[in-house]
Amino acid sequence: MKKKNIIIKPSKVKNIKDIVDLIAEVSLNASVIKRSYNQIFKKYKNYLVALDGEKVVGTIGFKIWPNSHIEIISLVVDKHYRGKRIGTRLIEEIIKIIKKRGYNSTFVLTDAVSLFKKFGFAGVDIKIFPQKILNDCKYCPRNAGGPNDPKCNEKMLRLNI
Ligand SMILES: CC(C)(COP(=O)(O)OP(=O)(O)OC[C@H]1O[C@@H](n2cnc3c(N)ncnc32)[C@H](O)[C@@H]1OP(=O)(O)O)[C@@H](O)C(=O)NCCC(=O)NCCS
């Protein structure tokens, strides 16, 4: 597989099932929340896919929280395609789209800290964003802390764009 054959494109409806499957495969072991077909269907225009021909080999999206907080979500590269800068290209493209849509910052909750720091993301205290804790951390199986005081190996990182 040559890197130049992989293209990054906005997601189409026909890609949704593959996105759901890619996320499901890693969601137990990685900082990626499982999403249903309907959840992605409602927001598929906020997703990108990496394509090897017609095959979806990577994805990334963003979620719009109240008060224009934008979270980068669902970053996954198919395990057979990792280490070829596809993840890097997906992050670069989603940042451009978030900026183009008029937002001036974005955040991510991740254990891939060094990957995001390359783009200038810097650590912030998750407690500055209680909505995230209330909605996601509270029910997350990886949360070893209390419902309102999450503990895991993920870090919240923010980037001004
Ligand atoms: C994280 C992931 C998307 C990276 O995709 P990828 O296409 O292999 O990444 P790249 O080839 O662009 O890697 C770029 C750099 O990030 C580093 N990196 C990759 N995954 C990393 C991780 N989990 N933590 C820290 N650094 C990571 C690579 O080592 C590489 O470093 P280098 O530039 O010094 O060589 C992929 O490993 C994956 O799908 N993992 C499972 C899901 C996951 O953890 N998603 C992140 C949730 S926020």
pTM value surpassing 0.85: yes
- Ligand 1 atom nearest the C-alpha of 76 is 39
Q: What is the pLDDT of residue 82?
A: 97
- The larger pLDDT score, comparing residue 142 to residue 98, is at 98
Q: How far is the CA of 60 from the centre of ligand 1 (A)?
A: 12
Tell me which residue has tokens 């224009």.
68
| Residue 16, CA distances (Å) to 8, 20, 45, 51, 109 in order | 15, 6, 10, 13, 23
Q: How far is the CA of 69 from the centre of ligand 1 (A)?
A: 24
Tokens (6 digits) for 28: 């137990």
* Nearest residue by C-alpha to atom 48 in ligand 1: 110
Q: Is the pLDDT of residue 4 over 70?
A: no
Domain range for 106 is 3-160
* pLDDT, tens digit, 9 for 90 and up, residues 69-97: 999 999 999 999 999 999 999 999 999 99
Count of structural domains, the chain: 1
Q: How far is the CA of 88 from the centre of ligand 1 (A)?
A: 8
Mean pLDDT score of the chain: 93
123: domain CATH number is 3.40.630.30
